[in-house]
Structure 1
């Protein structure tokens, strides 16, 4: 079979003009070809094999063409055909109509209309517009998405400006390269003696006395990069006020920006003095003991409540001594507090006993925090709370130290074993509970647990193995 014959068979469905001379034209010029007779019935159809999205439309043959048009396309099609038949010299313009098929499938086609001589029928050569429609839909969706993004951006900018203006702290955003003010709030403009709209976009160095731009920007960058909270002291050119600028770097959309917070020396001194007085009053009057120690556990400062708990007459009696001397388990407690606090930054609810200088003991609960600042490490701050009422309440319940299941197992032995055996079983239960508690308190640190229990490391491993507390892989 020749290529021409195969093409002819593929193009013909129903009755089409003999395609001997036009099959190549139809193949290259259109995606779909339809012949509609005078009554508007489809007498022939051809679909280009490259237009797979159109599928097979042979079932259109013998049915009215209007059955496969959307409602708005029917009137458009009939109007164009009527004008074409009324004026035989008229060369009709292409028409774009929307087809429907199987009640759901809809696709747009752009047709050029051609008269078939002596028959009154019309040959319609169409180009599938669905790819163009999809591109248009994507463009519309992208445009809508862009508009939504712009609305979000405008909303974010509004939030930023409202928050910036509502802040009582004078702030300015400065480009670290050009040294120009990108934005600032009214508080900063007032402090600098100008107006926000006039200062925006100007060089920040121009607002201060005796400052060259390059020198001033180097000072701001150096302060922002420093580990210490250093400020740059300047004098406002317009009002002569002494201002301290505390710059800080942050990155926005890949660009570095300087956030410059400003304050007068009066504000800095007043704020710092007020906070210091408040903390000093809290430190002195609280009923809980507060102790400041260095990283070795040596006492640097303590409040009156700690002196009362330890029966110390004055601070110099306990200052520069190790806190471990006032803990019942001594170095073991101190080591656990230091290691866990430095590791995680804080420690809460550590139970211990506090020893006074005269030897009395007090049950306490200790919370600790690792104190740090940019200048260096300040040590640890500990809050020690007396829990004597809680301990007394717990002591009234004699079975609180032993679990109900363990006590039941022991009581079940009464009558079946001697008193010596019963005491031995009870001792094993208590021994197991003490070992479990020590291991838990030391976060599974076997060396610290052994020190806490007064055992050697080897003895602890023997007892762990005895009570089934030594898991596989721990040995």
Structure 2
């Protein structure tokens, strides 16, 4: 392989074979070369006056035209560019090519930036000395530079804002009085722990980071908190749970929420100490609510999802004619509740779909054959594990009907008739409904005619004899012998 010869330094602005490659060029060819080499080429005399212009850029040619011809170059630029023009028209140092950015004023008040380099041609015989100024349009470059500067400033502002936000987060994280842990949702490992968490858990921060959470809890609490974290991963949030630290240090309430950071998922876990006084107050409130439930005038019963009784108050035991709660616990509520075997199934199905049921009318069957008309409201207890169902049972058999004192007693109201479904054959219900409507129509006709039975029969479309038969059937009016109005 031949050894490469070292490069020989070349003189600036000279061709090696200029006498051969440029000697035969015409003025038109030289003009084309100059236009190709620059966006704008100025030809100036020795006083700095522009005597000719050639364009290599269409936009500049359309914008400037020939308006600079005949003007001194220095008069076409802004004041801050005057020293640069004088420097470009000064005798150059040997072999030097100088580029200067020149600003030209625009009619709209802006400036046009062009970068120029100049070269002097001395006088030759009849031809006077001339200057050639080669210009390049810098507006696109300057616009890109401006955008770059603005983007850099924007990045710097965002970086400063993120740094400030991170600093505030760090200060809050370190100064928080409650224990806070940042956990990787995928692996369950502790990523960060604030000083309050280190103090509460009794473990140095360097040993806690990297460990799988939950840690430092009792076995039962570990299982509860693991379920809490699993729920938070699925739904984003979870209801807090009470837990106990290992070695009986204290009781804490643990809450968790899901955070999204870039492509990763984090869990923010907070551990709050449960104040003993607050715990006692909570216990007192629970005891008070339990006492109220036991003494409530309405029946209360709690079952599992299969309808098996878990607990019941005294009023429900009375309605069911059961001596003690032990006899009822573990039995199906269907044994006492419902006109038919499907009532409990309907209740449970609605509870699963909606979570609550209100004013469900049914019957409660006692152990000794007593049937009680009741209304049931129910709710699902979702915070318990497993989920439970709570029922409120109200005796409505002794409830007074509206306007009972103002009107004559009717066999049954329409609502009462519909409640007979499941206990009485439909044929009997329809017959009783027909009698009820017929009786009410006769009463209305007698009221309109002020007890004139002949007019009432005409209004009803009945014969007088048919009307008397129905009056006797329903016990309406005084139908003594020979009485007629």
Q: What is the distance in 2 between the residues matched to 1:33 and 1:290?
A: 101
Aligned pair in 2 of structure 1 residues 372, 193: CA closer, same or farther (>3 Å)? Answer: closer
Asked if 1:134 is matched to 2:144, the reply is yes
8 Å CA contact 1:36, 1:65 repeated in 2: no
1:368 corresponding residue in structure 2? 379
1:74 deviation in Å?
A: 0.6
1:425-473 CA deviation, whole Å, 9 max, x = no partner? Answer: xxxxxxxxxxxxxxxxxxxxxxxxxxxxxxxxxxxxxxxxxxxxxxxxx
Q: TM-score, normalised by structure 2?
A: 0.53
* RMSD (CA atoms): 5.8
> Aligned to 1:62, what secondary structure does the other structure show?
coil
* Map 1:321-336 → 2, pairs under 5 A: 321-324=331-334, 327-328=337-338, 330-336=340-346
Query: Counterparts of 1:73-112 in structure 2 under 5 Å?
Result: 74-87=78-91, 93-98=98-103, 103=108, 108-112=113-117
Report which stretch shifted further, 317-326 or 74-83.
Answer: 317-326
2:387 maps to 1:378: yes
Q: Is the 8 A contact 2:242 2:252 kept in 1?
A: no
**Corresponding residue number in structure 1 for 2:438:** none
- Which residue in the other structure is 1:113 paired with? 118
- The correspondence of residues 19-418 of structure 1 with structure 2, limited to 5 A, is 19-21=28-30, 23-24=32-33, 26-27=35-36, 29-35=37-43, 43-48=52-57, 54=59, 56-57=61-62, 59-63=64-68, 74-87=78-91, 93-98=98-103, 103=108, 108-115=113-120, 118=128, 122-131=132-141, 133-152=143-162, 154-155=164-165, 158-159=168-169, 161-162=171-172, 165-168=175-178, 170-173=179-182, 183-191=192-200, 199-200=204-205, 202-204=206-208, 217=212, 220=215, 226-227=226-227, 234=246, 252-254=261-263, 275=282, 277-286=284-293, 287=296, 290-304=300-314, 306-307=316-317, 314-316=324-326, 318-324=328-334, 327-328=337-338, 330-343=340-353, 346-349=355-358, 351-353=360-362, 355=364, 357=366, 358-364=370-376, 366-369=377-380, 371=382, 377-382=386-391
> Could you tell me how far apart the structure 2 residues matched to 1:120 and 1:316 are?
121
1:92-136 Cα offsets, whole Å, 9 max, x none, are 732224556563886643332344653665523214351453254
* Paired residue secondary structure (1:335): helix
- Which ranges of structure 2 fall in alignment gaps of 5 or more residues? 1-25, 123-127, 229-240, 408-412, 416-455, 462-485
Separation of aligned partners in 2, 1:74 and 1:389:
104
Q: Which has the larger radius of gyration?
A: 2
**Partner SS state of residue 382, structure 2:** strand
Q: Distance in 2 between matches of 1:395 and 1:64?
A: 114
User: SS of the residue aligned with 1:113?
Assistant: strand
- Segments of 5+ residues of structure 1 without an aligned counterpart are 1-16, 206-212, 402-414, 421-475
TM-score (norm 1): 0.54
Does the 8 Å CA contact 1:341/1:347 hold for their aligned counterparts?
yes
Q: Say which SS state the counterpart of residue 377 (structure 1) adopts.
A: coil
Q: Distance in 2 between matches of 1:254 and 1:35?
A: 62
Task: Work out the CA distance in 2 between the residues paired with 1:35 and 1:392.
Answer: 114
- Residue 297 of structure 1 aligns to a residue whose secondary structure is coil
Answer yes or no: is the 8 Å Cα contact 2:309–2:328 preserved in 1: yes
Q: 1:129-175 deviations in whole A, cap 9, x for unaligned?
A: 5145325414532541453254145325524642674453x334468
Hey, what's the Cα distance between the residues in 1 that align with 2:104 and 2:181?
61
Cα distance in structure 1, aligned partners of 2:347 and 2:305? 11
Higher helix share: 1
Between the two proteins, the alignment pairs up a number of residues equal to 360
Distance in 2 of aligned mates of 1:321 and 1:204: 49
The alignment partner of 1:320 has SS state of coil
Deviations 1:387-423, CA, capped at 9 Å, x for gaps: 9999967999x9999xxxxxxxxxxxxx9x9969xxx
Find the aligned partners of 2:329 and 2:188 in 1 and give their Cα distance: 51
- The separation in 1 between residues aligned to 2:359 and 2:111, in whole angstroms, is 74
**2: distance between equivalents of 1:262 and 1:305?**
41
Q: 2: distance between equivalents of 1:133 and 1:377?
A: 68
| Alpha-carbon distance in structure 1 between the residues aligned to 2:156 and 2:31 | 47
Q: Secondary structure at the match of 1:21?
A: helix
